[in-house]
Amino acid sequence: MINIVATECKPADERKFNDWYDNVHIPLLMKHPAIRSVARYKVRGGSEGQAKYLAIYEFASPESFEAFGESPEFAAARDEMRQTWGEGGFEIKWRAQFDVLGSWKR
């Protein structure tokens, strides 16, 4: 299954946000073995009205995602995020979880 998180940040904080997300936030989250992989994306031009950034977290199962949400690793990453950003700098626009229906690779 995947967990998708869509975010926006203030233009003035973009460099700080991306550096923090890539070098602090993701490594903290990936300390938990339930996360198989993480991929980040930036919206392309012509996609107005969409969140600027997406992070896609892959989990082995819904149960591993639930366990992750209750883990000390997740709590530590959440606490660090609050310490670094407080109530400003970036916003989680939406998040959603999806179950795998199929997968194809070339």
Q: What is the pLDDT of residues 26-74, one digit of tens each?
A: 999 999 999 999 999 999 987 788 999 999 999 999 999 999 999 999 9
- pLDDT for the residue 59: 97
Spans of all domains in the chain? 2-98
- pLDDT for the residue 60: 93
- pLDDT for the residue 46: 74
pTM, entire model: 0.92
Q: Indicate the fold that domain 2-98 takes in CATH.
A: Alpha-Beta Plaits (3.30.70)
Kindly write down the DSSP assignment for every residue of the chain, as one continuous string: -EEEEEEEE-GGGHHHHHHHIIIIIHHHHTTSTTEEEEEEEEPPTT-TTS-SEEEEEEES-HHHHHHHHTSHHHHHHHHHHHHHHTT-SEEEEEEEEE--------
Q: What is the CA radius of gyration of the chain?
A: 14
User: Which are the contacts of 87, defined by CB distance < 8 A and separation ≥ 6?
Assistant: none
